[in-house]
Amino acid sequence: MNKNLRTPVIAGNWKMNKNRAEAKALLEELCPLVKDAGCGVVVCVPFTDLETALAATAGTNVKVGAQNCHFETSGAFTGEIAADMLAEMGVEYVVLGHSERRQYFAETDETVNLRTKAALAAGLKPIVCVGELLAQREQGITAEVVSLQTKVALQGIDAEGLRSIIIAYEPVWAIGTGKTATAEQAGEVCAVIRATVAGLYGEEAASHLVVQYGGSMNAGNAAELLAQPDVDGGLIGGASLKADAFSQIVEAASK
Ligand SMILES: O=C(CO)COP(=O)(O)O
């Protein structure tokens, strides 16, 4: 499918890093470096950094995202944040179903689906993460796992909702390990995701879907990964914590 139909998006997932002063300093260094980016640039920061990040990126091309949201609009859910609360602040994106949320906080395909629907209802753009465990790759069931995660995440979401969604393919074994999927492995699974979406919504809708790769993506390997026909950007962990490394990935996606 024609890659020119899609503008790549490079999103940083800061995870549980950076206090407000550090967030401000990083964004003040980053924004000028990426001001001429030929791709979307997003920083997904801890909840406590959202206000700082929105202020530091105001008037720039850098968009701000959160790293999760709850699926209810309000209520007795101690410690949770509703999608509307994020939207009301001016947050535009939200990472959902990250493997660390699935692994350490018992999130499931079903709750990822509920969160995705809640995010869309609030007007947020979800970055929905899918990806196989190492054991699943070794069992040869990567395509089935990723396709299933994609299908469940999208249950009950119409074609209009799909237009606001990014799907990030993050093989769990490549996250924070320094082990990157080869460009071919990344391209192959991103193509599976697009084919799954084509099966649900048709080829035309799938041809506009941004599918990111994430997992030890850095300034050195970004160009090769992004050259794959079905890889439309990246969800960057470690390398998003340094302005120069992150801006080099943005540059690779802008070519
Ligand atoms: O989990 C990731 C982004 O969401 C990837 O993290 P790393 O880039 O640190 O491997």
Domains and CATH numbers, the chain: 3-9+62-239 (3.20.20.70)
**Tokens representing 57?**
């990126």
Which segments of 68-225 are extended strands (E)? Answer: 93-96, 125-130, 166-169, 210-214
Helix (H, G, I), strand (E, B) or coil at 7: coil
Burial of 183 (0-12, 13-18, 19+ CB in 10 A): middle
pLDDT-derived band at 215 (thresholds 50, 70, 90) equals very high
pLDDT tens digits for range 12-68: 999 999 999 999 999 999 999 999 999 999 999 999 999 999 999 999 999 999 999
**How long, in residues, is the chain?**
255
Active-site annotation holder among 70, 98, 100, 107: 98
- Measured in Å, residue 225 CA sits from the centre of ligand 1 at 14
What number is the average pLDDT over the span 165-175? 96
**Element at 22 (helix H, strand E):** helix 20-33
Going by their DSSP bridges, the two strands 233-236 and 210-214 should be labelled as parallel
Whole-prediction pTM value? 0.98
Q: Measured from the CB, is residue 212 less than 6 Å from ligand 1?
A: no
Give the pLDDT confidence score for residue 245 in this predicted structure.
98
pLDDT tens digits for range 119-147: 999 999 999 999 999 999 999 999 999 99
CA distance 161 to 31: 29
Testing ligand 1's pocket by substitution, the residue of 44, 93, 170 carrying the most ligand atoms inside 8 A of its CB is 170
* 238 in a labelled binding site: yes
How many Cα atoms are found within 13 Å in the side-chain-facing hemisphere of 185? 16
Reported ipTM: 0.99
* Residue 88: active-site member: no
- Measured in Å, residue 65 CA sits from the centre of ligand 1 at 15
pLDDT higher than 70, residue 1: no
Asked if 50 and 76 count as a contact pair (C-beta separation under 8 A), the reply is no
65: β partners = 44, 93
Give the pLDDT confidence score for residue 3 in this predicted structure.
84
